[in-house]
């Protein structure tokens, strides 16, 4: 009874040996025994066994040629932009200080309030300043009242000079006549002496009259000086009173409270800080490597930290670099009528510059050479790999824009890390595969 299982086991072992170990001979034997299945057996035998797939690192195809993926790139003109980090800045900011001392007698204005140009910020107690102004005006009036009297002395002195000169002329004529008469014996020596004395007296009278004229003129000059001094005193007193009212120099927003009621104000004391936010400036700093691409009047845009975008033009570009950072200050002037943009907000600035020819590639195409230079590997006319340094202009969702390549070039996009300069490559182009 045990012989049947043994025979069955032997038959099963023979069949499995034929199917697994001697499959080809087994199918040939079957095909000889079954003519109906001959065609099917031949077809099965004719199907070649699949070759084992190459591993991802197996990129060589013989003779040192390396398979790579490449892209045929053509340069296109793009508008380049200079990207900066900056902040908003008030167009003007002034700390309004007091020029006089005294007690504040006005109610304070709270920070955040909008003030117009010339609006009262702080009022100082006048004290005795008004009395000083009244006294200065009185002295000025007194000095001006003396003007007619002093001016009248000048014509009087001039008349005396003229009279003295006339008497001198008369005395000289008399002296001449007396001298001639004396020579002819008709006049005595006494008369001649009297006429000469009259001449000398007339000359003395002229000197006295001229001195009186100069004194009158000096009196007028002194009066004019007194009037000017009185006018200066009036102006000083008036200026002192005008400085009691501290006003806003321009329309803007109060950044601080004005001086509190009853506080003592000293010269140089802070009344308030006023900032002008319309228009507002967006300030950035351009590195010296990019300064040649920025010019005054260029179109620019800025994105504030809360996501708001604004557009403006470059209104200022510094000619002098910061001694510490070696960067140049650039300003944009942005309208801000609703005052929504605040002073000191962070902004990302984009300044438009002239267009350049650039290639759009995937960021994974970039590689480094032995010296650490950034670039890509291209395929030259001899189908060999060559390293080409590039400059990255802009990073976008579609890829990166780079310069430094010919207008048309084959760039290795996959496999550039497995080749070096001069290695022969067999490229498969992305455009053909797609």
In a domain, 103, yes or no: no
In a domain, 115, yes or no: no
Say whether 282 sits in a helix, a strand or coil: strand
Quick one: 284 and 325 in the same domain?
Answer: yes
Q: How far apart are CA 301 and CA 321, in angstroms?
A: 23
Summarised one tens digit per residue, pLDDT across range 362-374 is: 999 999 998 999 9
- Rounded to a whole number of angstroms, the CA Rg of the chain reads 55
pLDDT classification of 20: cutoffs 50, 70, 90: low
CATH of the domain at 410: 2.40.420.20
Q: How far apart are CA 163 and CA 298, in angstroms?
A: 84
Please calculate the CA angle 79-81-86 and round it to the nearest 5 degrees: 160
- Does the pLDDT value for residue 433 go beyond 70? no
In a domain, 32, yes or no: yes
Quick one: 139 and 234 in the same domain?
Answer: yes
What's the confidence (pLDDT) of residue 186?
A: 60
Please calculate the CA angle 222-227-230 and round it to the nearest 5 degrees: 125
- Does the pLDDT value for residue 191 go beyond 60? yes
| Number of Cβ atoms within 10 Å of the Cβ of 370 | 8
Is 314:331 a contact under the CB 8 Å cutoff?
Answer: yes
184-214 in b/e form (b: 16+ CB < 10 A) is: eeebeeebbeebbebbeebbebbeebbebbe
Q: How far apart are CA 429 and CA 376, in angstroms?
A: 16
What's the confidence (pLDDT) of residue 18?
A: 65
Q: How far apart are CA 281 and CA 310, in angstroms?
A: 11
Quick one: 220 and 300 in the same domain?
Answer: no
In a domain, 56, yes or no: no
Is 252:277 a contact under the CB 8 Å cutoff?
Answer: yes
Q: Which helix (H) or strand (E) holds 400?
A: strand 399-403
Is 355:368 a contact under the CB 8 Å cutoff?
Answer: no
Quick one: 320 and 389 in the same domain?
Answer: no
Question: Once rounded to an integer, what is the mean pLDDT over residues 171-191?
Answer: 71
Instruction: Kindly list the distances between the CA atom of residue 76 and the CA atoms of 70, 85, 292, 422, in Å, as whole numbers in the listed order.
Output: 18, 27, 22, 28
Q: Which helix (H) or strand (E) holds 402?
A: strand 399-403
| Number of Cβ atoms within 10 Å of the Cβ of 278 | 16
Quick one: 374 and 344 in the same domain?
Answer: no
What's the confidence (pLDDT) of residue 187?
A: 59
Domain of residue 322 covers 272-355
In a domain, 185, yes or no: yes
**Backbone φ and ψ of 357, nearest 5°:** -85, 125
Question: Number of folded domains in the chain?
Answer: 4
**Backbone φ and ψ of 362, nearest 5°:** -75, 145
- Does the pLDDT value for residue 145 go beyond 50? yes
Which of 223, 242, 261 represents a domain boundary (last residue)? Answer: 242
Quick one: 156 and 233 in the same domain?
Answer: yes
Q: Which of 122, 126, 97 is nearest to 258 (CA)?
A: 122
Q: How far apart are CA 111 and CA 168, in angstroms?
A: 84
Beta-bridge mates of residue 272: 96
346-361/270-287 β-pairing? unpaired
In a domain, 259, yes or no: no
Mean pLDDT, the chain, rounded, equals 84
Quick one: 223 and 156 in the same domain?
Answer: yes
What's the confidence (pLDDT) of residue 54?
A: 41
Quick one: 339 and 370 in the same domain?
Answer: no
Which of 355, 390, 406 represents a domain boundary (last residue)? Answer: 355
- 3-state SS, one letter per residue, for 86-151: EEEEEEEEEEEECCCCEEECCCCCCCCCEECCCCEEEEECCCCHHHHHHHHHHHHHHHHHCHHHHH
In a domain, 260, yes or no: no
Quick one: 169 and 202 in the same domain?
Answer: yes
pLDDT classification of 70: cutoffs 50, 70, 90: very high
| Number of Cβ atoms within 10 Å of the Cβ of 263 | 11
Summarised one tens digit per residue, pLDDT across range 192-247 is: 677 777 778 878 888 888 888 888 888 888 888 989 999 999 999 999 999 999 99
CATH of the domain at 167: 1.10.287.620
In a domain, 86, yes or no: no
What's the confidence (pLDDT) of residue 394?
A: 78
Quick one: 233 and 203 in the same domain?
Answer: yes
Quick one: 237 and 133 in the same domain?
Answer: yes
Q: How far apart are CA 251 and CA 94, in angstroms?
A: 11
Summarised one tens digit per residue, pLDDT across range 410-422 is: 999 998 888 989 8
Quick one: 149 and 232 in the same domain?
Answer: yes
What's the confidence (pLDDT) of residue 173?
A: 81
Which of 323, 355, 387 represents a domain boundary (last residue)? Answer: 355
Q: How far apart are CA 101 and CA 244, in angstroms?
A: 9
The sign of the dihedral angle between the CA atoms of 156, 158, 161, 165 is: negative
Q: Which of 304, 285, 154, 303 is nearest to 216 (CA)?
A: 154
């Amino acid at each position: 009874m045990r012989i049947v299982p043994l025979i069955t086991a032997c038959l099963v072992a023979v069949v499995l040996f034929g199917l697994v170990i001697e499959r080809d001979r087994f199918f040939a034997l079957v095909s000889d025994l079954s003519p109906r299945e001959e065609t099917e057996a031949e077809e099965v035998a004719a199907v070649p066994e699949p070759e084992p797939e190459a591993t991802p690192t197996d990129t060589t195809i013989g003779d040192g040629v390396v398979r790579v993926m490449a892209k045929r790139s053509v340069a296109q003109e793009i508008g380049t932009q200079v990207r900066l980090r900056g902040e908003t800045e008030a167009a003007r900011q002034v700390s309004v200080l007091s020029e006089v001392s005294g007690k504040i007698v006005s109610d304070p204005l709270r920070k955040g309030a909008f003030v117009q140009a010339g609006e009262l910020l702080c009022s100082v107690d006048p004290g005795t300043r008004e009395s000083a102004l009244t006294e200065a005006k009185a002295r000025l009036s007194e000095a001006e009242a003396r003007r007619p009297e002093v001016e009248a002395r000048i014509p009087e002195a001039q008349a005396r000079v003229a009279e003295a000169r006339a008497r001198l002329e008369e005395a000289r004529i008399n002296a001449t006549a007396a001298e001639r008469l004396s020579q002819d014996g008709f006049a005595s020596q006494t008369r001649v002496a009297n006429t000469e004395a009259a001449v000398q007296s007339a000359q003395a009278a002229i000197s006295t009259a001229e001195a009186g004229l100069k004194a009158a003129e000096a009196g007028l000059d002194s009066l004019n000086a007194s009037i000017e001094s009185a006018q200066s005193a009036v102006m000083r007193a008036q200026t002192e009173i005008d400085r009691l009212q501290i006003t806003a120099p321009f329309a803007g927003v109060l950044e601080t409270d004005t001086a509190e009621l009853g506080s003592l104000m000293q010269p140089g004391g802070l009344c308030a800080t006023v900032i002008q936010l319309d228009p507002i400036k967006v300030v950035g700093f351009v590195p010296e490597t990019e300064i040649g691409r920025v010019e005054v009047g260029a179109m620019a845009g800025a994105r504030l930290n809360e996501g708001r975008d604004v557009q403006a033009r470059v209104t200022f570009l510094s000619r002098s670099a910061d001694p510490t950072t070696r960067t140049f200050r650039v300003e944009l002037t942005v309208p801000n009528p609703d005052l929504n943009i605040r002073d000191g907000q962070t902004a990302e600035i984009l300044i438009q510059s002239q267009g350049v020819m650039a290639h759009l590639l995937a960021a994974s195409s970039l590689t480094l050479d032995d010296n650490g230079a950034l670039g890509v590997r291209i395929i030259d006319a001899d189908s060999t790999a060559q390293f080409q340094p590039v400059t990255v202009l802009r990073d976008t969702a579609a890829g990166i824009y780079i310069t430094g390549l010919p207008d048309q070039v084959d760039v290795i996009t996959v496999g550039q890390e497995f080749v070096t300069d001069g290695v022969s490559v067999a490229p498969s182009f992305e455009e053909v595969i797609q």
